[in-house]
Structure 1
Amino acid sequence: MMNQEKDHQNLDSKRSKKMKNKKNNIERNIREKYPLISYQELPEYMKDNEFILNYYRANWPLKQAFFSIFTWHNETLNVWTHLIGFILFMVLTIANAEHISQLADFMTMFIRNFPTSGDANISQNSKGETTRLTDQHLQMDITLSESATNEATWPFYVFLAGAMLCLLSSSICHLFSCHSQRLNLFLVQIDYVGITIMIITSFFPPMYYIFQCSPHWQVVYLTGITILGVCTIITLLFPVFSTGKYRSFRVGLFMSMGCFGIFPAIHALVVNWSDPMRNVTLAYESSMALCYVIGATFYVSRVPEKWKPGLFDLVGHSHQIFHTFVVFGALAHYGAARIFLEYRTRFGCDNR
């Protein structure tokens, strides 16, 4: 009996070793068949950053490209930075829709301690009557007010949808662009479309809620940024503008869309100068702008890999830093959008 048990154990052990060896052989074959290559070995259409020297994927089948999300190469963190951002914004969208305040308000919890402009406790309602902003009004631990209708909340969700589209399209682009030249071009163009849509949709919450009492300005500013965005998309769909040569040109287009916001921002400051929430929203929106500018600077300059080619191939190169600042900027704008929506819901205007 004892001998039979030992035989069974030995047999199981042999089977286990056999399966393990088979798995190792498969992985070895995959690595040998689809190795990571150097910049010099890349096809011309993939040569974008000469300061990243190694760990490239090229001409990989879709299946291998998909599973490379779990392995290390020079696009791994580019994929995961925006994939995590996409998941985070998806959670925030669900949290707001389902009224889960602990998640929905995580970006606005500090608001009660933030210095506001003028008398932080006084506001004017739609009838001109003085209304005291109690701690309950300033505290952002409540999800979207039950009194907010679909008409009042849709710009907020438009922004969330735009952010998720941008982050997801970016992750997909970095994961599968190693498949072929045709797919690479298509995914890169979709990535640029996603960025443009995110910029457009970022305008919807502030323009809608700030100028809710002046609907004609809503139309002017939202129409303006949409037209500018459509022109940007049409321009970037030309294949020539997807090449590394036009990197600065692409950034310039996106920055010009962002700079369009200067005009409604000045207008909003003039109109709402005495608003007690002015400093808070300015802080959030300034943080967003700063994150985007810093990220774009890294994207164009290719720092730090430019200083030490090869050292930042896997971790710490400019595109990864750019991705991180994009997520931070989007989160800052989310905080501002929450404040715009909550404040307008509590203090409407006669035109609502």
Structure 2
Amino acid sequence: MQTELSSTTDILVDTTGDDLHQHMRSMSDDVMIIKPEVKTHRRTASLRQRLENAEQLVHKFVTEAEQVAEQAVIKLCTEAWHVCHFNALPKWLQDNDFLHRGHRPPLPSFWVCFKSIFRLHTETGNIWTHGLGAVLFLCLFVYTFITFKDHYTYVDRLMLAIYFCGAITCLSFSTVFHTCSCHSREVSKFCSKLDYCGISIQIIGSMIPALYYGFYDNHAMYLTYITFGVILCIISIVISLWDKFGEPKFRPLRTAVFLAFGLSNVIPGIHWFIVLDSHLFSSFLLFILQGLLYIIGALLYVVRIPERFFPGKCDYWFQSHQLFHILVVLAAIVHLNGINGMVEMRLNVNQLSI
């Protein structure tokens, strides 16, 4: 019995040892298989990473090369630009088809745009008429404040400052627009909005001192008309910020908006004439002259006279927009004289009453 039990135990031990040995060998074979797979996977991942890095470097190099080439082309084109025919302009630069030659091509550089001030093209006259006008009013502003008389109150100084700031802003914005209008479509739209906002600022800047001295003894009417004028100013500025407002087909609408805003002074003007002090009649006539100059300039601008009757003959000089600019500057000077006359008269009356 003991012999049989011992024999059975030896068989079980031998069997278990063989199975265990076989299992260990199997696990060892699996490990040997896994190790090459892990190495292969690591090599593949490393190779893929290298390829991705190389691809990124090539893409970066190509992008930088394209940018350098693009900048070189832009620099070459902008520094060696020549005036072109109207038909060669992109759609966003085509404004006045009665001006055939002498147009600036797109110049995507502010430096080149401002350098073009000193070259002859269709915008040269527009730039200089309002550019010199802005400088003139800036000089008059400084001169006026240096030579102020002692009896000028702070309100008198404020009223003149409002007028000068409105005129300088309008003329400066106009100069910037005509200088940079050829930069790009986006810059042209932005600068045109500045230009139209400048017109609204000049109109309200002209109204405030004129109405202040015109209704010097009727503060309630002054506030009423000024409130009305400020509302119209805000409306015209909001309309000016409309993207399509600057397109050529809306030129009549632009003219109508600013004429309506400017002619809104007719109502207080009639009222002022009824209650007018005889000493202010000369200023009243100057304001009428100013209004006529604005209206004539606006009509020339919208109808495009004289280039409409002489196509291709006013490409550089004497085109409607230049005449409009000159009349605007003259009207601003006339209005300034009217305001100065009113200031002096009111101050003299105050001194006599004292």
Q: TM-score range by the shorter chain?
A: 0.7 to 0.9
The equivalent of 2:167 in structure 1 is 163
Identical positions, percent? 31
The equivalent of 1:276 in structure 2 is 279
Aligned residues: CA RMSD:
1.9
Distance 1:351 1:169, change over 3 A: farther
Distance 1:209 1:349, change over 3 A: farther
Q: In the TM superposition, what is the alpha-carbon distance from 1:277 to its structure 2 partner? A: 3.2
CA contact (8 A) 2:78 2:112 kept: no
Q: Which segment is superposed worse, 151-160 or 217-226?
A: 151-160
Structure-1-length-normalised TM-score: 0.76
The equivalent of 1:33 in structure 2 is 80
Once residues 247 and 78 of structure 2 are traced to their aligned partners in structure 1, the CA distance between those partners, rounded to angstroms, is: 29
The equivalent of 2:139 in structure 1 is 91
Structure-2-length-normalised TM-score: 0.75
1:235 aligns with 2:283: no
Once residues 269 and 305 of structure 1 are traced to their aligned partners in structure 2, the CA distance between those partners, rounded to angstroms, is: 38
Once residues 92 and 290 of structure 2 are traced to their aligned partners in structure 1, the CA distance between those partners, rounded to angstroms, is: 33
Question: Quick one: which amino acid aligns to residue 47 of structure 1?
Answer: Q
Which of 1 and 2 has greater Rg? 2
Q: Which segment is superposed worse, 195-204 or 280-289?
A: 280-289
Once residues 184 and 78 of structure 2 are traced to their aligned partners in structure 1, the CA distance between those partners, rounded to angstroms, is: 19
- Structure 1 moving runs of 4+ over 6 Å: 29-32, 349-352
Distance 1:41 1:79, change over 3 A: same
Deviations 1:243-282 (A, max 9, x none): 111101111111111121111111111112x52331x112
Distance 1:351 1:198, change over 3 A: farther
1:71 aligns with 2:119: yes
CA contact (8 A) 1:185 1:242 kept: yes
The equivalent of 2:106 in structure 1 is 59
Question: Quick one: which amino acid aligns to residue 294 of structure 1?
Answer: I
Alignment of 1:110-129 (within 5 A): none
Once residues 213 and 118 of structure 2 are traced to their aligned partners in structure 1, the CA distance between those partners, rounded to angstroms, is: 42
CA contact (8 A) 1:156 1:341 kept: no
Alignment of 1:1-352 (within 5 A): 33-60=80-107, 61-99=109-147, 144-272=148-276, 274-278=277-281, 280-348=282-350
Question: Quick one: which amino acid aligns to residue 151 of structure 1?
Answer: V
Question: Quick one: which amino acid aligns to residue 181 of structure 1?
Answer: R
Q: In the TM superposition, what is the alpha-carbon distance from 1:32 to its structure 2 partner? A: 7.6
| Structure that is richer in helix per residue | 2
Structure with more contact order per residue of length (Cα contacts < 8 Å, sep ≥ 6) = 1
Structure 1 unaligned runs (5+)?
Answer: 1-28, 100-143
Q: In the TM superposition, what is the alpha-carbon distance from 1:31 to its structure 2 partner? A: 7.8
Once residues 59 and 308 of structure 1 are traced to their aligned partners in structure 2, the CA distance between those partners, rounded to angstroms, is: 26
Q: Which segment is superposed worse, 207-216 or 225-234?
A: 207-216
Q: In the TM superposition, what is the alpha-carbon distance from 1:346 to its structure 2 partner? A: 1.8
